Amino acid sequence: MKERTFLNIIDPVKDKMYRLALRLLTSKEAAEDATQEVILKLWDRKEKIKHYANVEAFAMTVTKNYCLDQLKSKKNSHLRIVHQNYESNAPSLQSEIEVNDEMALLGRIVEKLPEQQKMIFQLRDIEQYEYEEIAEIMEMNQTAIRVALSRARKAIRENLIKKHNYGIQ
């Protein structure tokens, strides 16, 4: 295959290859390098290219695989994998610690509430009971339950705000 024939086959696909590389590598320079490297790989296989039924699909597959290899290699550790199949959805250790601390603080705040407010808060916001069910359990009027729940939530909110604003002027 001559150079002109090869370029006629690759030119229409080159922009798509670049856009795919840019999406995966998130860096213009890295995407340009990847596109050039893939074109060189395709040039090395120029005799085999004419046997492929869909050259565009083959070129895009080679581009994807090259970019994923680059993301995994140590020399490009500054790049991050953005393809959703490779993203970790696990929360970071710091996030887990913060959530655990916040839950512990919330537990301490709830423990300091008056017994009635604590029970109503537990039944409504944690156990997800309806007001009618809480009224039966607590043997109280629904309005009184709403008032007690409102006061409990207000006390919790004030304590959380006070804790989070500590030291901020």
pLDDT tens-digit profile of 1-36? Answer: 688 888 888 888 898 999 888 888 878 888 899 999
User: What is the count of structural domains for the chain?
Assistant: 2
Span 137-153, average pLDDT: 94
Average the pLDDT over each of 78-92, 99-113, 131-145 and give the range with the smallest value.
78-92
Chain centre to alpha carbon of residue 59: 29
Q: Distance between CA atoms of 22 and 33, rounded to whole angstroms? A: 10
What's the whole-number average pLDDT of the chain? 85
The mean pLDDT value for 82-104 works out to: 76
Q: Quick one: which of 151, 85, 157 has its CA closest to 120?
A: 151
Per the domain annotation, does 151 fall within a domain? yes
36 in a domain, yes or no? yes
Distance CA 47, CA 31 (A): 26
Decide if 88 is inside a domain.
no
Q: Any residues with CB less than 8 A from the CB of 145 and at least 6 apart, and which?
A: 120, 124, 131, 134, 135, 138
pTM (predicted TM-score) = 0.47
- Say if residue 42 is in the same domain as residue 69: yes
Say if 104 falls within a structural domain.
Answer: yes
pLDDT of residue 169: 59
Identify whether residues 61 and 120 lie together within a single domain. Answer: no
Domain identity same for 16 and 68: yes
**Residues with Cβ within 8 Å of residue 154, at least 6 apart in sequence:** none
Residue range 50-59, pLDDT digits in tens = 788 888 888 8
CATH number at residue 143: 1.10.10.10
Domain that holds residue 97: 93-164
Q: What's the pLDDT score for residue 155? A: 96
